[in-house]
Chains A and B, each alone.
Chain A
Amino acid sequence: MRHIVIIGNGISGVTAARHLRKQSDFKITIISGETEHFFSRTALMYVFMGHMRYENIKPYEDEFWEKNRIDLIFGWVEKVDASASELKLADGSIVKYDELIIATGSVPNKFGWKGQDLIGVQGLYSWQDLELLEENVKRTERAVIVGGGLIGVELAEMLKTRNIEVTFLVREGRFWGGILPKEEGQLISDHIQSNGVNIEFNTELEEVIDDGKGQVKAIKTKDGRIIQCELLGLTVGVHPNVSFLKDSEIKINKGVLVDHFLRTNISNVYAIGDCAEFYRHPTDRKNIEQVWYTGKMMGETVAQTISGNETAYQPGVWFNSAKFFEIEYQTYGWVWNKPKENETVFCWQQKGKDRMVKLVFDKNTNALLGINTFGIRLRHEVCNAWIENRTSIDTVIQNFGGANFDPEFFAPFEQELLDQYNQQFNKNLVLKMKKSGRIANLLSKILNS
């Protein structure tokens, strides 16, 4: 029986294992030193905040693995010997494979700052990071977070639940400036500040200051300011966790280099998820994708190929989501932080509310290119179809209710959106589709009047 070994029990590796089991009768083994069972990395913050316990963030019950004949090895892989098709584990044991899938994820970035390895300086990625954070917050009254991205906000939210004073250093002039356009960045920045987090924009870390006992006591910014803190959260991105492959025959750059079939330079070795780096991405995306959803898709794809249905990785319309404190964010297609030359941007924001819709469309063809929403939920299938079919912006605006995924009784906004669009672009469009649910709509009209 062919033996498929997967290094890493995150979403990518586990998805690959599940789909291999669906498709085949192979012997499947997952190796991880992080935790014995698969947990949802995106839910780590909820464990810290007391919304859930470790057992709640495990997507499958512990019996699942045996029932589906997926063997689990709880240990770290130290070396891959590709020519012998075997792995050496930290405990000295050897695991032989016929096919290997590398799904080892990422590690937080550190950019060589002075003092970056002091006690109290940490990233947030793994289960071990969370355990470390629990230790570190015991002596923390003030924390500094460097890096205005998703993990940074999550860490800020987490620390606020323990009444820790948080200062957030953001390199750009607004939050998540590399990704979000101005209005969105402003909305989120305001919201974060309203939750009691101090944000220092246009500020970068210079060095970490030692308290003399090997612990962080303050940080110094590039403009020379000193900020006292007992905890420094480094959330300046992540990079592929591939250092254990350095001496192997598997080719790596930043990540494990793979072709469109997620195959490495060695024909029976594959890499998926955060740790994979395409020679050239099959679409217009970056060569390394560090997102839950793409990890899942790569897992599904590689399982097809290994079980005989040679399948290239071909993600469709881009989508992603996040939550910043209380504001939910969804995105479909591409909304660049600075619009491209052929793009027109339409932005609707509800007065006094943290609700926003941004639509980007092609100047010439009027085709919808991208959607950002804040405080509003949209239907993935509908948005996907609009963008895939290059639906015209007029049609999208008139039928926006069809994409509304907000819970029942939530105030509809389609008319307001359309009115503003009509005004801004001198049009006379009429609303064609409202949010579904007749009685709910009627009631919400009464409630929200």
Chain B
Amino acid sequence: MKIIQRIGLFLFAIGFIAFIGSLFISSYTLTQETIINNAQSKAQATILTEVLAEVVNHNYTSKWAFVSAINNEIETLNTAYRENQEWDKVIYNQKELLFYFTKNSTVGPIKSKGTLWFLLTFGVGILGAVLTNLFSYIGHAGIKNNGIFFSKWKSRGWIGMILGGFLILFYILLYWFPMYIAEWALMLDPLSKSLSGNPASQWFLYGFLYTVAIITMGIRFIKKYRHNKYQVVRTISVMFFQTSFAFIIPDILARLNLPAYDLKNIFPLDYTLFFEWRLDEYLANGFIGYFMLFWSISLFLIGVPLITYFYGKRWYCSWVCGCGGLAETAGDEFRHLSDKSLKAWRLERFTIHTVLVFAIFMTVAVIYAYITGDNHFLGMDTYKIREWYGFAIGSVFAGVVGTGFYPILGNRAWCRFGCPLAAYLGLVQRFKSRFRITTNGGQCISCGNCSTYCEMGIDVKWYAQRGQNIVRSSCVGCGICSAVCPRGVLKLENGAEEGRFNDESIFTFGNDGVRLRDDL
């Protein structure tokens, strides 16, 4: 068992090294054909061919030099356009061009032996990860938290810091410098083409890695919590929703020339829902387009309050959501790093509701602009608002901080402090829901396991030791507090709203002397 686990880890290491190495072994030659195939318009192709004449057919051994050569030319061109106020000529798709130019100009084994490299990197890495995870947590089924606070990667040790640094770097490259990881997408071209018919974009790469992370680490999670059916079912659910709704279905929709969106992504987490390009896309696609728009709006308006009323926000956050799915699987080993202090709770309520207000404000501005055609809302450029939201919330908060900081802030930093949908679900859960975590009479021993392993930073024991049920807007219902409780004190339940907040009795259940007095 242990040997297979080691072999798995070894294979994963090989795959990972090959994966990183694949970014450094190619040279790059831009051809005229590449320019024509990737330019937005004929005019753009013509002008690019002209300014890139010196780059074309020149072989660059350094990606850096290749990218900066192209970038410089486009910059010069754009500066000139801007000076002459020729706004319609400015090349706005500069980042995308650089990504596809790099990807399609790659020369060397990644290009010529793509399948082999795909197998060597993704293939070997995934195989290794699955093997090592399948053979982890051997021995009796049960709580597997031994040594977590001694771990160099799980408890902010040096491995954790390196891992965090790597994840942060990955997000920065993905969002702002995708041309430097273009080879990874290149290796995924066959897969992407078989699904959507299109070559792999950086978002396909991201979706693929995301899905792989949820599945491989989901296997690990299931192995770890195999004694707990709630955990097993919930994890299968997030693995399913990620693979189908988030990854495969949008690609099939794209192949069918339909709006290719994740149908389980709900506004305002899905903050572009009401952007004019999306509305236009839906409205241009007949019945199916209308249906998809109707579906998304219904999920937001009816689905969220209704299902949350019956089951709490867990139905989404820890059963369906992709961010939640990654947090619960790949992020599980970091759940204890969330801050449990009162200060953090105060900060959380401030930030998450601020983001919700920001998202709603942006959406109102965008709809206003769509209806009136006036791009200024309350004196602000709606494009600037969107740009800010996309940068600060969509990329930095949700991606870089949300996932990159797993090994530092825990696995739910985005869900807890930033996600506007979580804020909305949380308001319903707090004020109108049947969901609660029931505290079992007087059985709590204040040991602190529940609070420690709460990824949302809820001080669960504070309630449990008072015999009080836990009703908190942030609770995503992952059920780990109940799983790690050594005395059977906590249970996630949906029940009558009456008695949900049982905060009247302050005495230990079973203390008849004071209980009788209390009743008087």
Chain A hits for B148, CB < 8 A: 50-51
Q: Are A321 and B513 in contact (CB under 8 A)?
A: no
Number of interface residues of A (CB under 8 A): 63
CB contact under 8 A between A311 and B448, given known A326-B227, A330-B488, A379-B440: no
CB interface residues, B 49-99, toward A, < 8 Å: none
What CA separation (Å) do A59 and B465 show in the bound complex?
Answer: 9
Number of interface residues of B (CB under 8 A): 59
Closest to B147 in A: A50
What CA separation (Å) do A321 and B509 show in the bound complex?
Answer: 14
Chain B hits for A301, CB < 8 A: 511, 513-514
What CA separation (Å) do A444 and B228 show in the bound complex?
Answer: 12
CB interface residues, A 275-314, toward B, < 8 Å: 292-293, 296-297, 300-301, 304, 309, 311-314
Chain B hits for A377, CB < 8 A: 440, 488, 491
Contact with A along B485-520 (1 / 0, CB 8 A): 011100111110000000000111111111111000
What CA separation (Å) do A11 and B444 show in the bound complex?
Answer: 12
Chain A hits for B510, CB < 8 A: 293, 297, 315-317, 319, 380, 384
- Which one, A58, A319, A444, contacts B229 given CB within 8 A? A444
Q: Are B512 and A292 in contact (CB under 8 A)?
A: no
Shortest C-beta distance, B286 to chain A (Å), equals 36
Q: Are A380 and B442 in contact (CB under 8 A)?
A: yes
Q: Are A436 and B442 in contact (CB under 8 A)?
A: no
B157 at the interface (CB under 8 A from A): no
Most buried by B among A11, A43, A304, A407: A407
Most buried by A among B465, B508, B509: B508
CB contact under 8 A between A11 and B145, given known A323-B486, A330-B488: no
A49 at the interface (CB under 8 A from B): yes
B308 at the interface (CB under 8 A from A): no
A109 at the interface (CB under 8 A from B): no
Contact with B along A22-66 (1 / 0, CB 8 A): 100000000000000000101100100111110011110101000
Q: Are A325 and B149 in contact (CB under 8 A)?
A: no
What CA separation (Å) do A151 and B9 show in the bound complex?
Answer: 37
A428 at the interface (CB under 8 A from B): no
Q: Are B488 and A59 in contact (CB under 8 A)?
A: no
B342 at the interface (CB under 8 A from A): yes
Shortest C-beta distance, B440 to chain A (Å), equals 5
B209 at the interface (CB under 8 A from A): no
Q: Are B443 and A321 in contact (CB under 8 A)?
A: yes
Q: Are B142 and A380 in contact (CB under 8 A)?
A: no
Chain A hits for B462, CB < 8 A: 59
CB interface residues, A 147-199, toward B, < 8 Å: 161, 194-195
Q: Are A42 and B145 in contact (CB under 8 A)?
A: no
A73 at the interface (CB under 8 A from B): no
CB contact under 8 A between A57 and B512, given known A321-B487, A326-B143: no
A408 at the interface (CB under 8 A from B): yes
- Which one, B145, B443, B445, B484, contacts A380 given CB within 8 A? B443
A410 at the interface (CB under 8 A from B): yes
Q: Are B142 and A316 in contact (CB under 8 A)?
A: no
CB contact under 8 A between A447 and B487, given known A50-B150, A379-B441: no
A328 at the interface (CB under 8 A from B): yes
CB contact under 8 A between A59 and B440, given known A49-B147, A321-B488, A405-B491: no
What CA separation (Å) do A56 and B513 show in the bound complex?
Answer: 32
Q: Are A300 and B488 in contact (CB under 8 A)?
A: no
Q: Are A328 and B445 in contact (CB under 8 A)?
A: no
What CA separation (Å) do A214 and B508 show in the bound complex?
Answer: 46
CB contact under 8 A between A312 and B451, given known A11-B446, A328-B487, A330-B488: no
Shortest C-beta distance, B140 to chain A (Å), equals 5
What CA separation (Å) do A5 and B490 show in the bound complex?
Answer: 34
Chain B hits for A304, CB < 8 A: 513-514, 517
A74 at the interface (CB under 8 A from B): no
- Which one, A40, A195, A300, A379, contacts B446 given CB within 8 A? A40
What CA separation (Å) do A411 and B227 show in the bound complex?
Answer: 11
Most buried by A among B143, B229, B510: B510
Q: Are B488 and A328 in contact (CB under 8 A)?
A: yes
Some 25 contacts from A to B, beta carbons below 8 A apart, are A22-B506, A40-B446, A42-B447, A43-B448, A46-B447, A46-B449, A49-B145, A50-B145, A50-B148, A50-B149, A51-B148, A51-B149, A52-B447, A296-B442, A296-B511, A311-B513, A315-B510, A316-B510, A319-B441, A321-B488, A377-B440, A381-B441, A407-B483, A410-B229, A436-B493
Question: Known contacts A325-B142, A381-B441, A406-B491; can you find 16 more A-B pairs with CB under 8 A?
Answer: A40-B447, A42-B446, A56-B452, A61-B342, A194-B140, A195-B139, A300-B508, A304-B517, A313-B513, A315-B512, A319-B442, A321-B488, A326-B140, A377-B491, A384-B441, A408-B479
The 6 A-B residue pairs whose C-beta atoms are closest, nearest first, are A380-B441, A377-B488, A314-B513, A326-B142, A409-B229, A43-B447
